[in-house]
């Protein structure tokens, strides 16, 4: 592992993009399977569906109670987890670097809990709810008080978390923010704990490389972008970024 090399890349105050996936939250005790809590790897659900089907927009429209059942299980797993040192390092770097953005696929809300503000939650978060029938929205810390199938207090329609279900389009707001930030360009892109299977997650790495920037991957495994990066740290996020925090003397929240 060469954290010293990463430290050197950050020394010149580059415009920096972190891209994070489920592997980041693994160090907070959350499993990594497909970014949906890791609760169903190699098995179906008790409703006879794969987890991808149960957490799809199509099933939600037909059987919202089924989708809600598994969303609740994922939220419960997230509820008992807290940010780890890697989350806090990224938040601290927002204050240290002139420009630092985090693009996350995770819906657990741990980046915000650690203090990140310049954040693009491309798949949404389980902590924001919205009505499917009107403009009602709410922010919740957990689902403990919610009924099995929540409904809107204003119009009575079914409520859902603001997360991207399987087979759904990405939200326009976060996508527009991502396109805007990529249009400005980044001098350093750091991919952390993601397999980079989705094109919009891998693309910023390739774009940065094409534009002459530096690229880094922190991941114990080989991924879709491993061959594209200038520096690979084959370890967990907390290990690598924890060492970086010591070298940079970062004050963590």
Q: What is the pLDDT of residue 37?
A: 40
Q: What is the CATH number of the domain that holds 48?
A: 3.30.1600.10
Q: What is the pLDDT of residue 210?
A: 96
pLDDT digits (tens, 9 = 90+) for 47-81: 888 888 999 999 999 999 999 998 998 898 888 88
Q: What is the CATH number of the domain that holds 19?
A: 3.40.50.1220
75 and 87 fall within a common domain: no
Q: What is the pLDDT of residue 158?
A: 98
- Per-position DSSP letters for 60-127, written without gaps between them: HHH-HHHHHHHHHHHHHHHHT----HHHHHHHHHHHHSSSEEEEE---S-HHHHHT--SEEETTEEEE
pTM (predicted TM-score): 0.93
Catalytic residue among 80, 123, 127, 145: 123
pLDDT digits (tens, 9 = 90+) for 109-165: 999 999 999 999 999 999 999 999 999 999 999 999 999 999 999 999 999 999 999
Q: What is the pLDDT of residue 38?
A: 43
Active site residue 123: yes
Q: What is the pLDDT of residue 231?
A: 97
| Owning domain of residue 23 | 3-30+82-123+168-248
Q: Answer whether residue 227 is part of any domain.
A: yes
Q: What is the pLDDT of residue 4?
A: 96
Structural domain count of the chain: 2
């Amino acid at each position: 592992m060469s954290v010293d090399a990463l430290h050197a890349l950050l020394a010149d105050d580059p415009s920096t993009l972190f891209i994070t996936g489920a592997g980041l939250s693994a160090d907070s005790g959350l499993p990594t399977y497909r970014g949906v809590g890791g609760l169903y790897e190699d098995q179906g659900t008790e409703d006879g569906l794969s987890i991808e089907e149960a957490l799809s927009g199509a099933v939600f429209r037909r059987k919202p109670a089924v989708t809600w059942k598994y969303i609740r299980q994922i939220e419960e797993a997230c509820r008992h987890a807290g940010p780890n040192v890697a989350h806090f390092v990224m938040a601290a770097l927002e204050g240290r670097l002139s420009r630092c953005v985090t693009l996350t696929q995770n819906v657990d809300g741990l980046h915000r809990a650690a203090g990140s503000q310049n954040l693009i939650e491309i798949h949404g978060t389980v902590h924001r709810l919205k009505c499917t029938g009107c403009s009602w929205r709410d922010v919740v810390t957990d689902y403990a008080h919610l009924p099995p199938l929540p409904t809107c207090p204003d119009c009575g329609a079914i409520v859902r978390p603001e997360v991207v279900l399987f087979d759904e389009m990405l939200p326009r707001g976060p996508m527009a923010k991502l396109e805007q930030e990529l249009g400005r360009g980044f001098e350093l892109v750091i991919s952390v704990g993601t397999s980079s299977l989705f094109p919009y997650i891998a693309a910023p790495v390739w774009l940065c490389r094409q534009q002459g920037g530096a690229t880094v991957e922190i991941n114990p495994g080989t991924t879709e972008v491993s061959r594209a990066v200038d520096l690979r740290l084959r370890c967990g996020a907390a290990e690598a970024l924890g060492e970086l925090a010591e070298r940079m003397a970062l004050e963590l929240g």
